[in-house]
Structure 1
């Protein structure tokens, strides 16, 4: 923007004139010029308008839980994730100790990705189990002495 404004033959004399030129540049940049980095060489305004927008809604029946979380694995290669008020411990292995990761949460489906390389380190589905130990074999009952 600075190069484009400086290259113009007639330079603005006042701040109001400069602001008008900046506003024109920003409008052209966002609404007219196609961008190679955007799909189909869209303009930034087109790409922005195409994205879904959050808004108030009274219907919560289709709500899902999506999050992208940045974290670093602990020295043992473990991560923690709080979901529905419960803390879950997720192991990705000691070879990934202190590795920066992204935790991609889609309801109960979790993907752990190396933040630097994009490599998928672990994929899992949270499975809620009742608290306590799983039931073991039935205990042998002592014969009744009476």
Structure 2
């Protein structure tokens, strides 16, 4: 179930039965400002276009036929129909023309294993590496603290979940149980 509900021109100062029901269900009511049709104006224009297209395409009798019609509409709307708001281009053309965001930090082509953990009373975290249980030295000062553990190959990084700082790094040695901090 959705956690928010937008209403185009509702008054936040005069709650009604519907708004009370939403509140009772834990749904936040968000009202648009009158004479400021930003998001709701776009949605209303889209719905108007959809309604006109469905009428022109012909009414259907079944839900399956309606779903087929809606899929066809979405394809035409996004890939064939030019839009004034984006320079008479299709949304697909506009989207593919822009440069996509890329990570600022160069990452290796391998996957980081991510684990949320808690440092034990002795200042260590237990992990399984190379088929055996290993203990990463974090430090007694970090006992019972919640941390984020990142592992990539034989490298680890332990991050304080509150401060976001790196508190320990390890290069795992498969011949040892206890792994010292670098």
Map 1:115-134 onto structure 2 (within 5 A): 115-129=161-175
Following TM superposition, by how much is the alpha carbon of 1:97 offset from its aligned partner in structure 2, in angstroms?
3.0
- TM-score, normalised to structure 1, is 0.50
Q: What CA deviation, in whole Å up to 9, does each residue of 1:66-114 have, x standing for no partner?
A: 5232322234432111101111111322332333322222222221122
1 or 2 for the larger relative contact order (CA 8 Å, sep ≥6)? 1
1:10 to 49, 71, 76: 49
**CA 1:94/1:33 → structure 2, altered by over 3 Å: closer, same or farther?**
same
Question: TM-score, normalised on structure 2?
Answer: 0.42
What runs of 5+ residues in structure 1 fail to find an aligned partner?
35-39, 48-53, 55-63, 132-146
Asked if 1:33 is matched to 2:95, the reply is: yes
Distance 1:95 1:25 in 2: 59
Q: Partner residue of 1:111?
A: 157
Distance in 1 (CA, whole Å) between partners of 2:147 and 2:75 is: 40
Q: Secondary structure at the match of 1:33?
A: helix
What number of residue pairs does the alignment pair up?
108
Q: Going by fraction, where is helix more abundant, 1 or 2? A: 2
Matches within 5 A, 1:36-75: 41-42=99-100, 66-75=112-121
Q: Which whole-Å CA distance do the structure 2 matches of 1:30 and 1:96 have between them?
A: 50
CA drift of 1:65 comes to 8.2
Alignment map for 1:74-93 (pairs within 5 Å): 74-93=120-139
Counterpart of 1:20 (choices 37, 62, 72) is: 72
Q: Closer, same or farther in 2 for the Cα pair 1:88/1:130, shift >3 Å? A: closer
